[in-house]
Amino acid sequence: MKKYSLYLHFFTFFLCAFACARPVRSDAADTLHLPAESSVQRYGALHVSGRYLKDQHNNTISLRGQSLGWSTWWPQYWNAGVVNWLTDDFKTDIVRAAMGIDATPAYLNDRARQLSLLKKVIDAALAKGSYVIIDWHCEAFHQEEAVAFFKSMAQTYGHHPHILYEIINEPNKTQTWEQVKSYATAVIAGIRAYDPDNIIIVGCPYWDQKIREVADAPLTGYSNIMYTVHFYAASHGQWLRNDCAYALSKNIPVFVTECNGSEASGSGHIDYPQWEAWFTFLESNQVSWINWSVSDKRNELCSILLPGAPANGGWTAAQLTESGKYIRAKLRGYSTRP
């Protein structure tokens, strides 16, 4: 009788474990009827192993994509048409939804509108089979609001493998790495309460350039954490690549969530030799990257669109800026999707 009772307890335990287990990520993707050969259909749920980004089959991958401009100033491009065009024509694997936080208007003072824009982009990425970064686009921490926001995002979207979280855009020169780590610990806890395994991307001081400080004292005790570096090739050259190489040598997983060939101001001049040197470095080290930005600001070199370009995608070459034409060709050249 005791033996029978023991078997019964074991059976009950395993039945409960099976019933209570979190659904497999691919099920969430399957319910969306992902387009054949889409990035999420191909790569599935992502994870980090050492310094590398890995797909569902444990293959090392690099994602390449395009960031939307600030939701504050270029909301007209936050729609399914743009997400679809970037995916189909630019051949992006991933889009970045750079939601303004403390500008005007932005999340802290225009919450309903900003969330509506964000939902359009996320829902479009889910349907298109594109990865999407939910980007808390500011320098200041706003920790209480950030924790609540990312909890909500994780609860709503965390069961989809498409989702990545960028929990702060660019900590500035007044914020220390220890302060960023403290903030990140709080936000990560909020996300992990609802989403135990999608990628979380953490910024670093001096507008995401102090990656050496990250390498010397990374967050510990977490899985699927990456760290971002931002570069503008005409301002950030070999010295920053050297710092990235140092981080990589210490097994720090780096994701370049924002970059361009211009100066850090977004204008000045485009340094094509340095931009090419960056692409050579990123590709040879299998580091994922995202270009900045889908915007049509007049005379801004990092904007990929000329003023008045259509709000729903479908852009012709005549509607792209110099950098827009360059990055479109670069993305299409790297893509292996039909």
The confidence score (pLDDT) of residue 32 equals 67
The confidence score (pLDDT) of residue 190 equals 98
Residues of the chain with pLDDT under 70: 1-32
Place of tokens 């706003």: 142
Q: What domains lie within the chain, and their CATH numbers?
A: 34-334 (3.20.20.80)
SS3 32: coil
175-192: pLDDT as tens digits: 999 999 999 999 999 999
The confidence score (pLDDT) of residue 297 equals 97
**Chain mean position to CA 292:** 12
How far, in Å, CA of 82 to CA of 76, rounded? 9
* DSSP sequence for 239-301: HHHHHHHHHHHTT--EEEEEEESS-TTS-S---HHHHHHHHHHHHHTT-EEEEEEE---TT-T
The confidence score (pLDDT) of residue 31 equals 52
Positions marked catalytic: 170, 258
Strands 225-232 and 288-294: unpaired
244-295: pLDDT as tens digits: 999 999 999 999 999 999 999 999 999 999 999 999 999 999 999 999 999 9
The confidence score (pLDDT) of residue 33 equals 82
Is 0.85 topped by the overall pTM? yes
SS3 213: helix
